[in-house]
Amino acid sequence: MMEPKILDVRADLKAGREPLPMIMQAVKGLSPGQPLLLRATFEPIPLYRVLGMKGYGHEAKRIEDGDWEILFSPGEKRGLFGHRSKAAPDDDAAAKTSAEGWPAPVRTLDNRGLTPPEPMIRILSTLEEMGPGEVLEAFNDREPQFLYPELRERGHSIHVEKQDQGAHLLIRHSD
């Protein structure tokens, strides 16, 4: 196994800084096949999903002072809830839009547990508050089919990752 890159965010967490951009930045900087060793003050469960969707498995263990050390290693693609993603044939142009080269999300919406059309309203309202080129991330129970025509109309681009139990959306504000 390749030597893992080590990232310690404990000091940032204690200082109240949001660690996600740093982590995503670090992931971006990994060479192909390289694992990431993350140290944090708590078990970052939401991160498992986010990195799982990027194809990273995780192994967590407790270290001194109740802190956590998690080894994220590239490998099998995992779904939102740790299932293996179904290899659904995806000829949707929507899903094909690659999110590669997009900046890290500046806003995250958890739309799970909302009845339609509320996820769509939240996404469109949040986008109105965002600037050109910024990325919004959203977790939905299902693909928001009626959202796509509105995004297209407004010139925003979307990257969709379908999961067994929902969808992970990255939406980039029009330039």
Partner 1 sequence: MNGVEVSPWTLRYVAVAVASFLLAQALMVLGLSYPIRPLAAPATLATVHLVTIGWLTLLMLGVLHQFIPVIGAKRLHSQAASGVTFWLVAGGLVLLVLGFLSMPSLLLPIGGTLVLAGVLIAVWNLGVTLAASRPLRLPALYVTASLCFLTLTVLLGVSFAVALTLPEVFAPATIGALLTRGIALHLLGGIGGWFGLTAMGVADRLLAMFALAPEDRGRARHWAFWLVSVGIGASWLAGLILTLMPSPVVQDIGMLGWGALFIGVALYLFDMRELFRRRRRRELEANAVFGRVSLWALGVAAAMTAFAGVLSQFASLAPALVYALLVGWLSGLALSQLYKIVPFLTWLERYGKTLGKTRVPRVQDLVVERRARPMFWLYFGGAAVGTLGMVVVSEWLLRLGALLTLVGTLGIAREIWLVRHPKTEPVPSDRQSA
Q: List residues binding partner 1 (CB under 8 A).
A: 86, 88-89, 91-94, 97, 113, 115-118, 120-128, 142-143, 145-153, 157-158, 162, 165
CB of 38 or CB of 94, closer to partner 1: 94
CB of 97 or CB of 108, closer to partner 1: 97
Cα–Cα distance between 111 and 145 in angstroms, integer? 14
Helix (H, G, I), strand (E, B) or coil at 83: coil
Q: How many CB atoms sit inside 10 A of residue 79's CB?
A: 19
Distance of closest approach, residue 73 Cβ to partner 1, in angstroms: 28
The CA–CA distances, whole Å, from 88 to 75, 85, 129, 163 equal 19, 8, 33, 9
Distance of closest approach, residue 142 Cβ to partner 1, in angstroms: 8
The residue length of the chain stands at 175
- In the numeric block, the tokens 């939102």 are attached to 80
Distance of closest approach, residue 132 Cβ to partner 1, in angstroms: 16
CB of 68 or CB of 148, closer to partner 1: 148
